[in-house]
Amino acid sequence: MRRCFVNPNDDPDALAKSLADPGMSLRQGGLVAFPTETVYGLGANAFDETAVCRIFAAKRRPVDNPLIVHIASLNDLDGLLPSDYRLGGTERRLIDQFWPGPLTILFPAGEHIAPSVHPGRDLVGVRMPQGAVARALIAQAQVPVAAPSANVSGKPSPTTADDVAEDLAEHIDWLVDGGECALGVESTVLLVEEERAVILRPGGVTQEMLASVIDIPVVFDRHLFDPAGAPLAPGMKYRHYAPDAKVHVWWGEEEAIYAAMREFMLDEDGRPWPQMRPAIIAPRDFLSRYEIHMPSDRLGALPPDDYSAELARSLYQLLRRFDRAEATDVLVYGVDPAHGIGTAVMNRLQKAAEGRVVLVGY
């Protein structure tokens, strides 16, 4: 693995020069990990079936789990779609408002896309990432880039280059290190139908944001809550985002969350379970108010202001840190899943906790 350090704030010419070698590697069938505004992606030429299959092998990813194709400009979209396909008005409004950004839209797949990108389906997810590094790399590659998260399947997604190296150093050709990802959770995946738009995976573009720019209902796909069959989008079917430790999530009334966490950590005599090494993620003021103390490598004390966004940004990194600290259980102060970025955060936690998510106090 070769590592390429770039400054996301460099001007386009400097970025292009820095990314020339990783870009050529992508074009020629290599695997390149790179930062986006969401998480780090593991990229391959979306037109090269052999290169795309390397992604599945490196990640140990189930072969029926589709990939998202990343483009650098709107001009790149035509090469991914059937020649007779024309964008509808809803799709155009979404693209105008949210590209570049963390929104993936499903389109009919063109004949040149590698079959493994959209296994068993005639739809392919496409997005234009917001990060300048990602777009510069794709432009240098001169091909659309299929890229899931750059981690071993099932583990927490990577939000730093070191996270990628920890999982995949032996399997990739280049690692582009552009610092920490800003958003911290993956893109929203959306299927636009004639009379509604269906969220297949909640992410950085929320239901409320989508509804504000299109004139058809925006709903969540039922498979988010009852996964079965061939998934249309990444993250719908398999255990995802999970550390080695068991994750437990409570959300609702603050006092009830504290009581539930305390009951979980203590035996009937009020003593800590001897074999348990808990870690906690919660707002900083909650931890201080209830005098909850934990070793620093097993504590995620987040700012209480805009806690949902802070949790989204920090979640995967904290879960990885807790594994390095050999935590046995991760206790998470959850958020309301019905609003804003909280929907995406709780979706990831639901997957990571394998259903151990409890509403308390109501």
Rounded distance, CA 72 to CA 79, Å? 12
Residue 119: Cβ-neighbour burial (10 angstroms; 0-12, 13-18, 19+):
middle
40-99 pLDDT per residue, tens: 999 999 999 999 999 999 999 999 999 999 999 999 999 999 999 999 999 999 999 999
Tokens of 254: 């603050």
For 56, phi then psi, to 5°, come to: -60, -40
Only one residue has tokens 């255990």, namely 239
Rounded distance, CA 156 to CA 114, Å? 26
Rounded distance, CA 59 to CA 209, Å? 32
For 42-65, letters b (16+ CB in 10 Å) and e give bbbbbbbbebbebbbebbebeeeb
Q: Nearest to residue 236, comparing CAs of 115, 162, 347, 110?
A: 347
What is the model's pLDDT at position 233? 56
Give the C-alpha distances (Å, rounded to integers) separating 239 from 155, 183, 205.
9, 22, 23
- The list of the chain residues with pLDDT below 70 reads 225-239
What is the model's pLDDT at position 230? 46
Rounded distance, CA 41 to CA 104, Å? 14
What is the model's pLDDT at position 225? 62
pTM: predicted TM-score of the whole model, two decimal places: 0.93
Tokens of 45: 């030429």
What is the model's pLDDT at position 228? 46
Rounded distance, CA 321 to CA 326, Å? 9
Q: Can you name the CATH fold of 246-360?
A: Rossmann fold (3.40.50)
Only one residue has tokens 């009334």, namely 253
For 216, phi then psi, to 5°, come to: -120, 155
DSSP strands (E only) in the chain? 2-5, 32-35, 40-45, 68-70, 103-108, 123-127, 145-146, 174-177, 188-192, 197-201, 218-220, 246-252, 278-283, 299-302, 329-333, 357-360
What is the model's pLDDT at position 270? 75
Q: Do the domains at 2-186 and 246-360 have one common CATH topology?
A: no
Question: Using the 8-state DSSP alphabet, how is residue 266 labeled?
Answer: B
Give the domain ranges of the chain.
Answer: 2-186, 246-360
Write the CATH number of the domain with boundaries 2-186.
Answer: 3.90.870.10
Tokens of 12: 């386009």
